[in-house]
Each structure stands twice: as C-alpha cells, then as structure tokens.
Amino acid sequence: MRERYAVWAPEAERVDVHLGVDGDRIEPMAPEGDGWWSVDAEPGDGRYAFSLDGGDPLPDPRGRRLPDGVHAASALVDPARFSWTDDGWKGCPLKGSVIYELHVGTFTAAGTFDGAIERLDHLVDLGVDVVEVMPVASFPGQNGWGYDGVAIYSVHEPYGGPTGLQRFVDAAHARGLAVWLDVVYNHLGPVGNYLPQFGPYFTDRHQTPWGVAVNLDGPGSDEVRAYFVDNVRQWFLDYHLDGLRLDAVHALHDESAIHLLEELAALAEDLGTATGIPRVLVAESDRNDPRTVAARGSGGAGGQGLDGQWADDVHHTLHVLLTGETQGYYADFADPQALPKVLAHTPFFHDGVHSSFRGRRHGRPIEPAITPGWRFVASLQTHDQVGNRATGERLSHLAGRGRAAIGAALLLTSPYTPMLFMGEEFDASTPWQYFTDHEEEWLAESIRTGRQAEFAEHGWSGNVPDPQDPGTVEASTLNWADLGDPERQEFLDWYRTLLRLRRELPTVRGAALGDGAVARSGDLLLVRRGTIEVLANLADTPGRLPVPDGSELLARFGEAVLTYSGEVELGPQSTALLRAPLPEITGEIPRIVV
C-alpha cells in the first residue's frame, strides 16, 4: 500500500522524502501549489524524513511519532487503528468540575501512560472529574517538564507514544474521568526545532520571553495558523481528548482581526456540536482580562470565547495567607483586602489596580453576572508554583499540614473551578523540582545560571538541584508508599470529604462571586457562603469563633469542637466546615471573638 507524504516548504526549490530507517530510499516530491509538496510512495518500515534543497533529512513538522528522538526520522501512525471502547462517553463540561494536574513522567515510578493508568482508580476515589496532563509533545531527551517541546503533533516516545496516550484516555473515560492536555503554542524548545527551516513559522516582529514569536499575522501566517488549528483538531478527534490547556496565551502575539484564540474557540465549539461531547479550552493568561472567556460576538463585538482561564491571583493570595511569604510578586497579596476580594468577589486582585511587581496598573474588572466564577481555574499548587521554587517545596512543606488543610477548605468551597496538583491530596513527601535532559552542555549550564539568578530575585538561596541530574527526576517522582502513612491517609480523607461536600452541597457547588463574605481577626478566619461556613485557625495556639445557634459541624481537620455556648473551639492550625442558619441580615458575619 502506498502512502501519501506532504509537507509545507514554501521557500524550497526542491523537496525529497527519505524513506526507511536508514533513509537510503529517496523519492522526489512534486509541488502542489501554495508552498505544499507531495508524493505517493511505498512506506517500507514507516520511517520518513524530508530533505529541502539537498540538505540533511529533517523530521516531519506534522509527524505524529518520533521513535528515535527529535533529531531523527518521523514514523507513520494511523490513529484510526486504535480500538476505542468509549462510545458511551458523553464528556465533561468545565462548569462543576474539579481538575487534577499530573506529569506523566513523575506521576508513577514507571513514568508512562500505562503506569498512570494503574493510578486512575485513586483519582476516581478521590472525587475529581478531569485529569489535566502536562505537555506530552516530543522534546529532547527522556526527562523534562514538556514545555520545551519541538514537535507538537508527536507524542513523547518514552511516555508510550501515540498509542500510549490513546490507551490512557480510553481508560480514563471508562472510569468517568475526562482528560485535558496542556499544549504549548507560544514557542518551541531551543533544540530540535526545525520549523524555521521549513517556512516562516516565526517572526522577529514580536518578541516573547523565549525569543522571537510565532508568526500569526505576517506573510505566510495563514499556513502557520492552520498548523496550530489542525493540531487542536488532532487532539480532539484522534485522541478523544476532552479539553486543552493553552500555555501562556499572552505570548501569542496576533494583530489579526480574528485572534487565533477566537479561531480555536470556534473550532472547539463546532467539534463539540458535531460529536455531542463538550470540547473545553482553558487559557493560562497573564493579562487578568475577562475578555479571554467572554463569549464571541458578531460584528467584531465580544470576547475570545474560551471556556476558562487560570487565576493565579487566587493562588498568590492563599499562598501569602498560608506561608507568610511576601517576596517578589507575592508582595501585593499581603494587602489585607486581597483575601476578602479574591475569596468573595473576583479572581483578579489586580483588576485595574497598581501592581508593584509590574510597576503599573494591571488587569480589568469582571462582571460576575456576565463572567461567573467557575470560568476561572484556581489552585493551591501547580507545576509552576511548586516546580519554579528553588527546591520544589510543596505547600505543606512550607506551611505545615494544618495550614495546607485550611487552604484546601478555602479552595474547595470557593466559587472557582478548583485544580489540584498531583500528590497534593495526600501531602506527598516528595518535592517537585525542575528537571531537563539536554545533551548540549551550553544549554544545561545556561538553564542552571538563569534559574539561580531568578531564585536570587525571590530571595531564595542555597543548593539548587541540578536539573540535569537524574536524581532530580527521581526525587520528584511521587512515592505512592506515602499512602501507608496514617497521618497522610487522614489528610487524603480530608480532601475526599471536601470534594464529596462540594458535590453534595448546592451552596458550595453553585457558589457565586459576590455572594460570599469573609471576616478575619489575626489568625482566625471565617468565610460564609449561604448556609455554609468555613472556620479556620492559622495560629499555633487555640482559638474560638462564635457561630449561630443550630449550627451543624459537617467536617473538620485538626481539633474543632462545637460547644453549647454557641462557639467553635479550634485547635492550632485547625479548620471546620459548618452548616449554619442564615443570619437575620443575609451576608452578615458574626463578630469574631479571640
């Protein structure tokens, strides 16, 4: 059977395809027009690479598999050959979901999709709805975070390649779990990126933190945009993914009338309608702009139409509350108004106010009636906020288990879509550190030097783990034996309880921006949402809070006793959830007594 090979190389005068593992069978390709070249040929062992104007063979920019690494030939993959068993899967919308972020390479000791499948039942028992997988596009070496991927159509071979990802998604759907994938469209990694040799995929008209930007609005950009649009289509249709998390969309510089994000949102909506399965797009954006998730409109009106976006201001506010850290970009969130603002009214502390870290005003206000809280993904921990610390400490390592439990109660009763980071739910003993596997020593040393400088800006010093040391990956791999620790089991039970109550209690599940109220006195904290109260004591000494008569203790972590005198006595670093009668004036918070 002959296969059709095609590649976009608009500036080439001659293109050949090299076939076979050794690339010794060469077939000339013919121009099709608009910069495309093609040929039909016998595939042999399925390996192939393209040569431009007699140059070295290069992997296919749209290749689905790189079995021998990012510098070697691509391999043919027929995604239709996989036998799916998820015909009854109906999908999972963003609204009402709880997300669990994991890194395939360190989620289990196996570091593969098949290894991760073995732990899916744990996630079902935990009570989450969505598994968000960090990037799996092929990148140099074996170990890495995935944000230096260079072949966005290909699935990283050490994880299990394309069929490994299909098995993982199929297994997740069988257990009622949706799967999202983190994708990086704002840049490619520095090693193995052959796109510039094929065409104008990048432009120096715009700059990003990683160098020149992707060419989304210059000459030749129609095909560049199609490269990303078709990639989204691949993930949804060939891999049955339910959603994508789009990395750092503020670095997608696009001055076109229809921004790429709006184009992707339209595609996801169309595919969802056609298949009957919701296709979700969530952006990571540094802009604090609700227009990212505002509905698309006609005549140029409206927003970009994505389903959701990350809300880092919620993380930063909770992190400062629980750890006391105020260096770097945490400084603004020590403001006493930060906590009541982000827990009750808006995910954006910076909603047009001054940002000391940026040295200017930042953000735009939201209107809760138009943009509900569930469109914002909030967290206590993420790969960014843990792994980009000097030694990868988790929240509990910094603040203690009691304060981490308080944070969980505040997050999981919030009006936002919560996201957990792997191992957070059982207070994993392992850190999660930055690791790479580059062959180029100049690049490895550049990363070491750059991260040391960045850490110094945050006031972090000491020994920083070497990203290139295999021991850094090993140290960052979840130790599932932690579940044998009774205290960690108690912590896991707390997360299970909070997630169960979130599902069962309409006041929590349907919490709306503007409906909550927050009161704080020193280390004592009370958050009220309708009839549900979260009470917390951040101190190392006992405290007590008044509650309405007839209150019912639903759950606690640490010491919490509901007394007959209308108070809750809280032990050091303890928290409790209560169902309480509505006060006479809706939204009134009882006086805090210390």
What DSSP character marks residue 586? T
**CATH fit for domain 516-579, picks 3.40.50.10900, 2.60.40.1180, 3.20.20.10, 3.40.50.1000:** 2.60.40.1180
- Please determine, for residue 378, whether its predicted confidence score (pLDDT) is greater than 90: yes
- pLDDT interval class at 337 (50, 70, 90): very high
- Please determine, for residue 590, whether its predicted confidence score (pLDDT) is greater than 60: no
**CATH fit for domain 99-310+418-489, picks 3.40.50.620, 3.10.290.10, 1.10.760.10, 3.20.20.80:** 3.20.20.80
Query: Average per-residue pLDDT in the chain?
Result: 94
- Please determine, for residue 588, whether its predicted confidence score (pLDDT) is greater than 60: no
Spatial contact of 472 and 465, defined as CB atoms under 8 Å apart:
yes
Quick check: do 3-81 and 516-579 share a fold? yes
- Most distant pair of Cα atoms in the chain: their distance: 88
Give the pLDDT mean for 583-589: 48
Spatial contact of 105 and 143, defined as CB atoms under 8 Å apart:
yes
Predicted local confidence at residue 576, as pLDDT: 98
Report the alpha-carbon distance of residue 495 to residue 425 in Å, rounded. 6
- Match 């169960």 to its residue by tokens: 500
Amino acid at 360: R
User: Over the stretch 240-258, which tens digit does the pLDDT of each residue have?
Assistant: 999 999 999 999 999 999 9
Predicted local confidence at residue 449, as pLDDT: 79
- Please determine, for residue 298, whether its predicted confidence score (pLDDT) is greater than 90: no
CATH number of 3-81: 2.60.40.10
Predicted local confidence at residue 589, as pLDDT: 46
Question: How remote is the C-alpha of 345 from its chain's centroid?
Answer: 23
Which run of H or E residues covers position 527? strand 524-529
- Please determine, for residue 461, whether its predicted confidence score (pLDDT) is greater than 70: no
Q: How many CB atoms lie within 10 A of CB 405?
A: 26
User: Over the stretch 122-132, which tens digit does the pLDDT of each residue have?
Assistant: 999 999 999 99
Domain boundaries along the sequence of the chain: 3-81, 99-310+418-489, 516-579
User: Over the stretch 408-434, which tens digit does the pLDDT of each residue have?
Assistant: 999 999 999 999 999 999 999 999 999
- pLDDT interval class at 591 (50, 70, 90): very low
- Please determine, for residue 473, whether its predicted confidence score (pLDDT) is greater than 70: yes
- Please determine, for residue 68, whether its predicted confidence score (pLDDT) is greater than 80: yes
| Tokens found for residue 112 | 């593969």
486-504 helix and 401-412 helix, angle to the nearest 10 degrees: 10
User: Over the stretch 496-549, which tens digit does the pLDDT of each residue have?
Assistant: 999 999 999 998 988 999 988 999 999 999 999 999 999 999 999 999 999 999
Report the alpha-carbon distance of residue 592 to residue 558 in Å, rounded. 20
221-238 helix and 260-275 helix, angle to the nearest 10 degrees: 30
CA distances from 411 to 223, 414, 495, 501 (A): 42, 5, 11, 13
Alpha helix positions (H), 27-184:
104-107, 113-117, 120-126, 161-174
- Please determine, for residue 592, whether its predicted confidence score (pLDDT) is greater than 60: no
User: Over the stretch 169-200, which tens digit does the pLDDT of each residue have?
Assistant: 999 999 999 999 999 999 999 999 999 999 99
- pLDDT interval class at 462 (50, 70, 90): low
Which residues are identified as catalytic? 247, 284
Handedness of CA 422, 338, 313, 506 (dihedral sign): positive
- pLDDT interval class at 460 (50, 70, 90): low
Give the pLDDT mean for 566-570: 95
Report the alpha-carbon distance of residue 416 to residue 501 in Å, rounded. 15
User: Over the stretch 301-330, which tens digit does the pLDDT of each residue have?
Assistant: 789 999 999 999 999 999 999 999 999 999
